[in-house]
Structures are given as C-alpha cells and as structure tokens.
Amino acid sequence: MFQSRLFVASLMVVAAVTSRILPHPPNFTPLLAVSLFSGAFLTDKRLAYAVPLLAMLLSDLYFGFHSLMPVIYLCMALGVYSGFKLLPERPLLKTAGYTIAGSVLFFIVTNLAVWLTSGMYPLNGEGFVTCFTLAIPFFQNSIAGDLLYTGALFGGMYLLERTHVVPTANTTPSKVKI
C-alpha cells in the first residue's frame, strides 16, 4: 500500500484540504510542508507540483476564490521546487533551512501583495509598515505550523523508510521508496 506514489499523493491532498477546512489557528497548516515534501519524495515532478496545488484549489473551492490565489499558488510551487533541491539525501538542517526560508518568503510575498492590491493600507511607508506589523501574529503561526508539519512528514517518512519492510517478488525484503 505504501509503495503507491499516487496513494501517498492522494493522502497528502486529503490531509492538506482537511487541515484548511477544520478549525485551526490562522495560517497553521501543513501546506508548505506538503509542498516541500512533494518535491523531496515524489519522483514524478508533475505529481509533485499537482499535490499542493490541487489541495489549495480544492480548499479554495470550499472557501471561495480570492485575489491572492496566484501569489499563494506560486509560493506553493516554489516550495515544491525547493523540495527538489533537497534530493537525494534530504539532510535535516537543509530541510529545516528550506522550511524557514519558505515561511519567510511566503510572509514577504503575500503581505507585499496584500499591501499593493487590497486597498486596506495606504501605498506609502506607513501603510507598508502597518501591513507587515499586523501580519506578524500570522507569521508566528505559519512558521510554527511549517516546522511542525515538515518535521512530522519528513520524520514520519524517515521512520517508515527505516522500519517498514515490504516483500518484493523475489521475497527479498526491501525498504519502502516513495
């Protein structure tokens, strides 16, 4: 069962959509972690990009479409691309660094887009500072969720690869590779 890339990808989409729909602290979701994980573990690049983007699309169907969708989807795609850069070793410190960098990038890009397009803030230095200052609580949740979920996904896969043995056709046990 765990050998199926499509099965794992489907589980990640369902988990990501569910995490956005169920009550949770603002911005505390596994979406960046799923993006990074997809790039690092799904060998089919199209599938790796499809997982987080499909999760976003399905949950946006529930919440409604909004003007920041292109910016957010771009951030998710950059997360997948970053996951490709973790191959083949997927080192712990590099993974943590990419997670933090992804959180920071998401914060900067999305808040810049809010400041520029929402009309909620004046397009001057004061509006810029206000926009980013008011977003700090969301950033705290975002980085906490990104680190927690990345740790859970990558740590869970690490344990699975080291402990789950699946018999092959020649009855020689082999470790799961996704």
Per-residue pLDDT of 43-67, as tens digits, reads 899 999 999 999 999 999 999 999 9
Q: Is the bond preceding 88 in cis, omega lying within 30 degrees of 0?
A: yes
Span 78-89, mean pLDDT? 94
CATH class of domain segment(s) 5-164: mainly alpha
Angle at Cα 57 formed by Cα 97 and Cα 49, nearest 5°?
Answer: 45
Sorted by where each begins, the domain ranges of the chain are: 5-164
Residue 86, C-beta contacts closer than 8 angstroms, at least 6 positions apart? 36, 39, 40, 94, 95, 98
Residue 3 has a pLDDT of 57
pLDDT at 92 over 50: yes
Tokens 């950059």 belong to which residue?
78
pLDDT at 29 over 50: yes
Task: List the one residue out of 33, 67, 45 whose CA is nearest residue 155.
Answer: 33
Name the burial class of residue 36, with classes exposed (0-12), middle (13-18) and buried (19+) by CB atoms within 10 angstroms of its CB: buried
pLDDT at 177 over 90: no
